[in-house]
Amino acid sequence: MNGFYNSLFWRISFLFLIILLITSGVYIYIAVTTADMYFQETRQNLDIQIASHIAAENDCFNRDSVNLDALKDVFHDVMVINPSIEVYLLDTSGIILAYYAPNQVISIEKVPLNPLENFIAENGESFLLGLDPKNPNKNKAFSAARVIDEGQFKGYIYVILGGQEYENASQMVLGSYILRLGIRSMIIAFITAAIVGFIAIGIIVRNIRKIVYVIRDFQGGNLQARILLKSKSELQEFADSFNDMAETIVKNIGDLKTMDKNRREFAANISHDLRTPLTIIRGYAETIQLKDHLLTSGQRKEHLETILGNIDRILAMVNELFELSSLEARDTDPDCEIFSLSELLQDIHQKNQIKAREKSIAFELKCEDHLSTVNADIQMMEKVFQNILDNAFHYTQPGGQIKISVQHGNDKDLIVKISDTGIGIEQDQLPRIFDRNYRVKNKSNRRNGSGLGLAIVKKILDLHGFRITVKSALDKGTTFIIKLPVNYLPVDQF
């Protein structure tokens, strides 16, 4: 039973019925009011000259006094012929001097003259309402004329065309009229509106049920479920919003699956990278333990150096993991300051000279004169350049070349290019080289560290709002291009 009353169909139907009843009531009120105005205007058009006839054919005044005896007979005869009217004699200011209205007492002593003057001036061509002396709260149709006695304007004949007797009779009929009109109107309106309304409500509820079914289907695991409606109503907008949301959810699920796959691949890569040095450390440690008495001091020293080198390798990978996690979590914000980019690059160039000589690689730095300063975190930017150089040294063969160049790109940028003549990167891999979960695949199959160096580079530059792009060709080399906004402070003023 509760389900019946909570049904959207019946709740909308009940609301529609209430609106229908209110609308019918308003319609009846308008119909009755309009009918009343129609009958009043009709009476005024029919009896427009009644006041003029009374004023012209009777002596309303006897010199300066009201001719009450004559008026009483006149008013009585007129009202016998037409009992629905009431006749009043007014002076020039609108004060009631005489009237004939059996069994009634007037409520006011003075009638406003503006409607009367307008009626006389327009000769009754416009529909006007005047104040009813017996019921001042209601305006009624009337007829009016001036009383002229011996050439002098003495007052007005004012005739209410729907007097109290007429109104009493009208009220008796009105109730029955309203009842009949109301019943007929409501029956016709109810049947028509009910048929149309129930059909419309049924269509709406059917579409809502279709929407609910699709949502439940989607909730049950059918991620391809979509709402298909042919209407252009608000329900269609809701359906479009749900479909867009569903597409977003499916995309997010796909992204999560991809991220989970990449995470597992990343964990496998890190595990492999850690397992290799740990296996080496364990092997050399066991050798020292089992054959310590057979090893020479030189062999023992060599084994210990190998162990320490692999420990340093593990620590470097762990440090990179912590550093990347800190950058992704925004635990570390850049501590920006204004500095000379050329001085930083010259320092980095100097530190890598030994590595370049050991690998027989030509290492060159070329800076444009009078470079502008930049505003950034010096240590972070040093990490950026060093990580790129580490990759360049690793993948460049002996006899190759690594070059750093810096120049003004335009009024707002400094362009740093780090290029090498290494083995290069395939074009389909370029978009993913900065992904922490991705490791570049190349024909040399050479691995170095955790593979997080470029991911750290990208995170640091993103925190600064700097841009980095990369160009590469297999067997020809790779070029990293970094754009840094200038600080407009010349080096000689820094």
> Taking a C-beta distance cutoff of 8 angstroms, is the pair 398, 460 a contact?
no
- Encode pLDDT of 86-122 as tens digits: 888 888 888 888 876 555 677 788 888 888 888 888 8
| Top-confidence range, 249-263, 389-403, 450-464 | 389-403
The CA-atom distances, in angstroms, between 103 and each of 78, 81, 132, 159, 167 are 16, 18, 16, 17, 14
User: In this structure, which topology does domain 235-328 adopt according to CATH?
Assistant: Helix Hairpins (1.10.287)
Binned at pLDDT 50, 70 and 90, residue 442 comes out as low
> Taking a C-beta distance cutoff of 8 angstroms, is the pair 149, 157 a contact?
no
The CA-atom distances, in angstroms, between 216 and each of 141, 180, 223, 227, 260 are 68, 51, 11, 11, 27
Task: Look up residue 133 and give its amino acid.
Answer: P
- Give residue 412's pLDDT: 76
Question: Shortest CA distance to 23 belongs to which of 192, 138, 136, 161?
Answer: 192
What angle is formed at CA 308 by the lines to CA 303 and CA 311, rounded to 5 degrees? 130
Dihedral sign for Cα atoms in the order 56, 59, 60, 64: positive
**CB-based contacts of 27, cutoff 8 Å, min separation 6:** 185, 189
Parse the chain into domains and list their residue ranges: 13-174, 235-328, 337-493
- Encode pLDDT of 219-274 as tens digits: 888 888 887 877 666 677 778 888 888 888 888 888 788 777 766 766 666 676 67
Binned at pLDDT 50, 70 and 90, residue 1 comes out as very low
Binned at pLDDT 50, 70 and 90, residue 361 comes out as very high
Tell me whether the CATH fold assigned to 13-174 matches the one assigned to 337-493: no
Query: What mean pLDDT is predicted for residues 440-456?
Result: 62
What is the widest separation between alpha-carbon atoms in the chain? 162
Domain formed by 337-493, architecture:
2-Layer Sandwich (3.30)
- Give residue 266's pLDDT: 65
Query: Quick one: 328 exposed, middle or buried, by C-beta within 10 A (0-12, 13-18, 19+)?
Result: middle
Question: Shortest CA distance to 274 belongs to which of 314, 333, 229, 227?
Answer: 314
The CA-atom distances, in angstroms, between 222 and each of 214, 215, 225, 247, 294 are 9, 9, 6, 12, 69
Residue 99 pairs in a beta bridge with 88
Q: Rounded mean pLDDT of the chain?
A: 78
Binned at pLDDT 50, 70 and 90, residue 451 comes out as low
- Give residue 103's pLDDT: 57
Least confident range from 267-276, 291-300, 418-427, 457-466: namely 267-276
User: In this structure, which topology does domain 13-174 adopt according to CATH?
Assistant: Beta-Lactamase (3.30.450)
- Give residue 204's pLDDT: 67
CA–CA separation, 454 and 463 (whole Å): 14
CA–CA separation, 190 and 198 (whole Å): 11
**CB-based contacts of 266, cutoff 8 Å, min separation 6:** 436, 437
Query: What mean pLDDT is predicted for residues 150-173?
Result: 69
Three-state SS letters, the chain = CHHHHHCHHHHHHHHHHHHHHHHHHHHHHHHHHHHHHHHHHHHHHHCCCHHHHHHHHCCCEECCEECHHHHHHHHHHHHHHCCCCEEEEEECCCEEEEEECCCCCCCCCECCCHHHHHHHHHCCCCCCEEEECCEEEEEEEEEEEEEEECCEEEEEEEEECCCHHHHHHHHHHHHHHHHHHHHHHHHHHHHHHHHHHHHHHHHHHHHHHHHHHHHHHHHCCCCCCCCCCCCCCHHHHHHHHHHHHHHHHHHHHHHHHHHHHHHHHHHHHHHHHHHHHHHHHHHHHHHHHHHCCCCCHHHHHHHHHHHHHHHHHHHHHHHHHHHHHHHHCCCCCCCCEEECHHHHHHHHHHHCHHHHHHCCCEEEEEECCCCEEEEECHHHHHHHHHHHHHHHHHHCCCCCEEEEEEEECCCCEEEEEEEECCCCCCHHHHHHCCCCCCCCCCCCCCCCCCCCHHHHHHHHHHHHCCEEEEEEECCCEEEEEEEEEEEEEEHHHC
Question: Shortest CA distance to 371 belongs to which of 336, 402, 403, 341?
Answer: 341
